[in-house]
Amino acid sequence: MTFLDLGATYRELKDEIDAAVARALASGWYIGGEEVARFEAAWARYTGAAHCVGLGNGLDALILALRALDVGPGDEVVVPSNTYIATWLAVSAVGATPVPVEPDPATHNIDPARVEAALTPRTRVLLPVHLYGQPADLDPILALARARGLRVVEDAAQAHGARYRGRPVGAHGDVVCWSFYPGKNLGAFGDAGAVTTDDADLAARIRRLGNYGSERKYVNVERGANSRLDPIQAAILSVKLGHLDAWTDRRRAIAALYSEGLAETGLALPRVPDWAEPAWHLYVVATPERDALQARLAEAGVGTLIHYPIPPHMQQAYADAGIAPDDLPLARRLADEVLSLPIGPHLDPTDARRVVAAVQE
């Protein structure tokens, strides 16, 4: 069984998606327009945010959020040591310095208890990631930010449909950044991204920054980028959004099956705090015998992946950051021990039971 079958959602919704794409093509609007506005309104409503701005991709969402907060050279941004490298790259892209904080080993998410020690007079933003679709513990991070006059940007690229303390991820922090990369829980058929926020001024600034720094054609008030949500992708996302809750339910059922079936295997399983409702983007187990387990599962026909095999601080891209491999031992250890089991709307419970049986062997 494949780890992820990206074509499955298209086959499931072919008629609806074909009609939406045809509508977008026939509209004559190929940048901005109604399809984009419709999806932005729907995504704001879904996430409980006052505003949504569609953008080109998730990395741009992070970069433009930081730019809108005037983060730049000399500034520091607190990031998880254990994340997809995009979180760090966004900070570097605006000329600021990513300051990594180690995870809570139980949840793999940034450990709020360790954040305060990472603050310096240069810290401007705290940037938690809802890794694997598990919400990060936001309240202590928001409280610290309030006490220190910092802003909070959330990387929610893996967290579509996740809830923190009963409220959807989408407007707890100052700006929440989304990716609709095809493999995400709400995925376009190409690159796409967005931010959500309750702050009208920040939303307007991010929209302007993604449109050449311009609100009026040929009037450029700042040096912006070109990063806009494609209307064809927006039309596809609007269709898929109508199915997101059902897909999240399927993911939740698979996660429950794994958690029950694997309880006695000695693997470290995802731990879900009582305030968290994960979106189950990934179901990640951990074991020192990871490579052997992955090889055995491959023999049994079960595709798995590693998220992520090399932590950002050990990538060549950050070789000049002056962070030794063992400066962040938890991130380093997780990279050696984590394994993502197949999960997604394409998988039915029979498949999940086969995975459980294969692991139990």
Ligand X SMILES: *Cc1c(COP(=O)(O)O)cnc(C)c1O
Which residues of the chain form contacts with ligand X (CB under 6 A)?
A: 57-59, 83-84, 86-87, 129, 155, 157-158, 179, 181, 191, 193
Q: Which residue is nearest to ligand X (CB)?
A: 58
Residue 261 to residue 173: CA distance in whole angstroms: 36
Helix or strand run (H / E) with residue 144: helix 138-148
- At closest approach, how far in Å is the CB of 260 from ligand X? 27
- At closest approach, how far in Å is the CB of 80 from ligand X? 9
Q: Are 208 and 215 in contact (CB under 8 A)?
A: yes
DSSP 3-state of 110: strand
Which of 157/262 has CB closer to ligand X? 157
- At closest approach, how far in Å is the CB of 155 from ligand X? 5
Q: Are 169 and 176 in contact (CB under 8 A)?
A: yes
Q: And the tokens for 185?
A: 């829980």
Which of 182/261 has CB closer to ligand X? 182
CB-count exposure of residue 80 (10 Å: 0-12, 13-18, 19+): buried
- At closest approach, how far in Å is the CB of 284 from ligand X? 13
- At closest approach, how far in Å is the CB of 218 from ligand X? 29
Q: Are 75 and 98 in contact (CB under 8 A)?
A: no
- At closest approach, how far in Å is the CB of 83 from ligand X? 6
Which of 9/158 has CB closer to ligand X? 158
Which of 57/287 has CB closer to ligand X? 57
DSSP 3-state of 75: coil
Query: Which residue has 């595709």 as its token pair?
Result: 303
Which of 181/283 has CB closer to ligand X? 181
Which of 93/356 has CB closer to ligand X? 93
Q: And the tokens for 154?
A: 């959330």
Q: Are 43 and 196 in contact (CB under 8 A)?
A: yes
